[in-house]
Structure 1
């Protein structure tokens, strides 16, 4: 067997019929295994000292053998505790060597060609040579002892009998390493103690850099290695203290493959299992499942169909989603699919509740079922269990999907909905009334905006800089939240006159490269963030960077920042009570009262309404504001004008940028904190 083979393949032949193990072995990357120092004979992964994701640097304290497992700390955890107790400054503490009586693992005996290991770090000798020096040779000096003719190297004692252990035994009457010899003394007196079972299931010796996979079957080891490789590729910062308990539990359960694990307390198994399930999975194999892993289709997350209880309807929805996915060219494809499935789940629930056969036979569906569904949706809206806008959206979804079922031929002979009647459809007269346009009128009062802008420092303290920058840009630019979260690092450009311009993508309408004039202060916020990102990811090409990079599992800065809604909601809840002035007339005299403002109305999308309302109140022409807001219809923009006469202003003709990319005129600043 060559050195490369010892890295790629286990020493024993793959059992006949175990094609899955052979498949996993072919998928393993030799470069990744070499990074971990992997060898199938030893079966121990060693974390590298330098790597952007899993690198564990050495502790800088002199003589400390540990690694820094949390990269935000200046030293290992043990030295952190010692420094806290010492009261020394960091600079002074790093100058004091650590006193160690033993190292992590086993160090070679100082005698030339001796294959045994040091008994203690201070002695530097194995137990036999230590005894020889102190008794036979009268405790002579170390240098004299090593040069003495009677001192010769000794053969190794063999491995510790604990299956998971990669250390050598201490010799004599002990068949285990020093640590496991001590552990055995504590457990040997237990009733019905089985030393053979203990050898197979006992944990390995802890280390800050090494993780043992010894004692696990070849199939399980291969699955673990492939899962590690996939997670590292996705930027997950794995650590020994997280992996060791996982593999110790697998060893204790004596399982042979990940899919057999059902331990509810093992949180890490689900991630490992999901990774293995995705190996060599294709859209053709995934589409038959009831829960789809959308990474197979080039997206993220999962799409469950389990809420649709009728099997024919569920299978038809799988066909519909599979057909619709290629036409969704933005990152909201998964969200859209889930919304459609939720709407069809409402129809499924109506069929299950109101039909005697629970809606299992498509040929028996009819007009009465559509009427029942419409009445049920009206009831849910009337009782406040769903909004009028959701009722309208869900009804539209169901109407569109039922029509598409027919064009796909699912209701014809041999289709999964064979025999579905023609009258099982939603006609135009079945559609609920269009709700009032809710976009305008949801802006925040100026007094509230001033309080929010005055407390942006607290937002940064409670979350991070990216959250604060995202919030500032939402306030200043009026873009939709996902348009801000996905900004590229080089999103700031200049017009020919030198005015700063924000370049963003309108994901909702799939309009890329939109240009928005912004103020100098907003541009400076972007420039400072650009510098922070370059300092954090100096090795990544600027064209691949994001302005707001994800804070975790993102070693190169190429992943988009996630939704800030949770951090934003927590921040708003921590603010003092918000009040707004309201003027009333008492005895003919105007009186101003401070009225509490509902904090639930303060959410990221509300800043877009504030931006639009501020510009409308400032007299910006509706056509210009339509371009600013990137609205599809002028009627949506007109909703922000409180006075109808503002819609017919006769001032200068609004200037629109070249190629319809956006307005070029200077617009009012949104610096609310001023």
Structure 2
């Protein structure tokens, strides 16, 4: 799929200057007039003055009042205005106290009309300028004070009569009083004089002054914009664009429109603008660039409708024109632009199949995205073959083999390696479209051998045993913690203020780091997600992947404090109503899910990691300084691996760690942490020297390979009995009564397993007694218990007698080998390679 700016559309006859002829332009205007809603936003839009004044109480308008109670300034995020924000930072008060007590400086916004003159209880209809009085009354007061300095202002004010209104400034939309001579307010009068001086015009030229004023903007607030300076056709086009955006569920923000209007002053029509339309690459502000891009696309689509052109004509389709549902909005209405260029598919038969599938099935935008890319990959694979796959009647099983191989090596969008799961998704999507074509009679000419087969399956990649796994090293996490204050900088998130966005993402990071939950589980946390249990706290979360809800996880005080701090801050924010029950709110009220998307956490984290000046790894570079850490390995899900690795390194028992990760199988948990091959070899090298026999006498192994070969599938220690070793531990002559066997070779790493077995045997003996078993049964169990107890006591005594440094080495080796055995399900496994003996795809 490609995302591109739509070019200028072909239209009726144009003049030599590239614009429509008058007749053609009138037809386009008539179409627009019929499409426009006449009573659009009556409380905000003034059609006579072409002036929009946003209402902060309208949920469809991105406009808010300054957080200070006595400030009426409008802002586009839920925050302070710039002046109150400066005062707040200088006040050292908390936000609640500042917002309720601060008195803002009056008359700070040049776009807003100041209150009327205070004379006569503000019945004077003229705008106040200084000390609450209009210019005329202010001049009169200065004359009185000069003549009689002792005059009391209140007594004088009571004797004054209000004046009638002054003329309005002739610049449409300007709210300020004008002078009678020029019909311009003070600021526009200065602007006109500067303009006249620069262009050699007579300041008193009424015709020139009137023409200049017709193209000027009023001095507007953040809540306003004016379309008056634009050409009539552009006015109608922009009004149509704004109404269409509202129909698509987009929230309206006046500020980008106001700035966009300034870039459209020289156009006579957006539909006919061609290369004269503003270059989006030169527009630095994201909101303005987005509005201009959407305006161009909306008008081009409307002009197609005016011409009677179908959205499915041609090979480039606009997804918004096709009403392709969005997978990310609650309404299903697609807001973002997007096009599919079917010419990227080289083969006509595959291109027609793809177009028919999109047109008839109308899948959501996410399915369209990855299915179309799968079709492009398959097309490119066939195009590289003799004949390019152009003739569908000549396709064979070998061609499908080539396509499957292309999916095995396909990269991500950014060129990095893609995992096998993603590759399988793209291959399956392509094959599903082929199956759709066969079911609906669209591929009758293609031979039946051109089909998928089990040999096309993309297997999981074999992991290198010496790799360190996906866990982020603790040293790297410490570096991230030191720079946590930078997380969330520059990340827009709906109408939330920048500092609130940072606080939200920083809290999400702390929860990810400390709890090891999946990113989606963190994003879905409910507002009351922490619960006190005695002196401890637990996190309440939902394991939706395994359909286990209301799970509980012990968390530390730091995590609880971070959650509570964010909750207190969150309580003061005006958030989307649908997000009321979630800790991390959605970006808008129109998202498909009512909480933050996990992709938002990923986006913020990757942007943060890329921006950090330095992240050191645990390895040294060529000059002896730490080598840079691979930043692509830092992503939200990796913190789940880090959580597991951290607890495994601390010696947390396997069953406890499984419960902390909320896995059903310990084998799944073992896949989340790694013991490197190097550490395993060092542990074996240490442990082989401390092997003993069943009576406690030293019996060291001569080599690492001897130790590992004799450890095959023996639960309570090593075994040297040849037939049992050859059978992989499945042919013990005395049924694993190891403590009584001369081939038994335990070592300290098996001590926990021995103790567990003793407890199990004691339970078996009690059961035998309770069921009235024969005396030889209970006697045998008792003797086996005593034998294993002797083995355990001998190993403990052996460890106590070791020198302290050697004992530390043995204990570290014990930890490593226990992890290795736990990762293989509790049994050591032989490194066997499976050889596929099928030939030619047959079984």
Short-chain TM bin:
0.5 to 0.7
Query: CA contact under 8 A between 2:116 and 2:128: conserved in structure 1?
Result: no
Instruction: Choose from 350, 353, 375 the match for 1:313.
Output: 350
Look up the match of 1:661: none
Look up the match of 1:55: 64
Q: Deviations over 1:342-373 (max 9, x none)?
A: 232212223445465x6566556555644554
Instruction: Name the Cα RMSD after superposition.
Output: 6.0
Cα displacement (A) at 1:560: 0.7
Look up the match of 1:611: 643
Query: CA contact under 8 A between 1:580 and 1:595: conserved in structure 2?
Result: yes
SS of residue in 1 equivalent to 2:616 = coil
Q: Deviations over 1:470-510 (max 9, x none)?
A: 2333233333223322333244468999983532254xx58
Instruction: Choose from 47, 51, 55 the match for 1:44.
Output: 51
Q: TM-score, normalised by structure 1?
A: 0.65
Matched, 1:545 2:581: yes
Matched, 1:625 2:658: yes
Q: Distance in 1 between matches of 2:433 and 2:526?
A: 37
Q: Distance in 2 between matches of 1:123 and 1:533?
A: 38
Query: CA contact under 8 A between 1:492 and 1:523: conserved in structure 2?
Result: no
Instruction: Choose from 518, 524, 545 the match for 2:554.
Output: 518
Q: 1:65 to 1:596 in 2, by over 3 A?
A: closer
Cα displacement (A) at 1:184: 1.8
Cα displacement (A) at 1:459: 0.9
Cα displacement (A) at 1:70: 6.7
Look up the match of 1:203: 217
Q: Deviations over 1:219-259 (max 9, x none)?
A: 3463365378579x7667x464x443223333453447799
SS of residue in 2 equivalent to 1:250 = coil
Query: CA contact under 8 A between 1:475 and 1:607: conserved in structure 2?
Result: yes
Query: CA contact under 8 A between 2:521 and 2:542: conserved in structure 1?
Result: yes
Q: 1:462 to 1:629 in 2, by over 3 A?
A: same
Cα displacement (A) at 1:325: 8.0
Look up the match of 1:299: 328
Look up the match of 1:401: 430
Query: CA contact under 8 A between 2:294 and 2:337: conserved in structure 1?
Result: no
Unaligned regions of 5+ residues in structure 2, if any? 1-25, 92-97, 202-207, 303-309, 330-335, 489-501, 681-711, 717-752, 761-818, 820-843
Matched, 1:345 2:376: yes
Look up the match of 2:764: none
Look up the match of 1:532: 568
Q: 1:19 to 1:251 in 2, by over 3 A?
A: same
Query: CA contact under 8 A between 1:489 and 1:542: conserved in structure 2?
Result: no
Cα displacement (A) at 1:171: 1.6
SS of residue in 2 equivalent to 1:290 = strand
SS of residue in 2 equivalent to 1:180 = helix
Q: How many pairs does the alignment contain?
A: 590
The structure having more radius of gyration, on CA atoms, is 2
Instruction: Choose from 243, 247, 269 the match for 1:226.
Output: 243
Q: Deviations over 1:188-220 (max 9, x none)?
A: 255598766634432222435543343455634
The within-5 A match list for 1:448-463 is 448-449=473-474, 452-453=477-478, 456=481, 458-463=483-488
Matched, 1:419 2:419: no
SS of residue in 2 equivalent to 1:487 = coil
Look up the match of 2:15: none
Cα displacement (A) at 1:520: 4.8
Cα displacement (A) at 1:547: 1.8
Unaligned regions of 5+ residues in structure 1, if any? 1-13, 85-89, 327-332, 582-592, 654-667, 669-674
Query: CA contact under 8 A between 2:517 and 2:640: conserved in structure 1?
Result: yes
Q: TM-score, normalised by structure 2?
A: 0.54
Query: CA contact under 8 A between 2:65 and 2:74: conserved in structure 1?
Result: yes
The within-5 A match list for 1:621-660 is 621=654, 625=658, 628=661, 630=663
Q: 1:512 to 1:528 in 2, by over 3 A?
A: same
Look up the match of 1:5: none
The within-5 A match list for 1:34-183 is 34=43, 36=44, 38-48=45-55, 53-57=62-66, 72-73=79-80, 76=83, 104-105=112-113, 108=116, 117-118=126-127, 120-121=129-130, 124-125=133-134, 154=164, 157=167, 159-163=168-172, 165=174, 167=176, 169-172=178-181, 174-183=182-191
Q: Distance in 2 between matches of 1:252 and 1:316?
A: 44
Matched, 1:263 2:278: yes
Query: CA contact under 8 A between 1:363 and 1:419: conserved in structure 2?
Result: yes
SS of residue in 2 equivalent to 1:421 = coil
Q: Deviations over 1:404-439 (max 9, x none)?
A: 433454672xx3x56333333343334455421589
Query: CA contact under 8 A between 1:66 and 1:104: conserved in structure 2?
Result: no
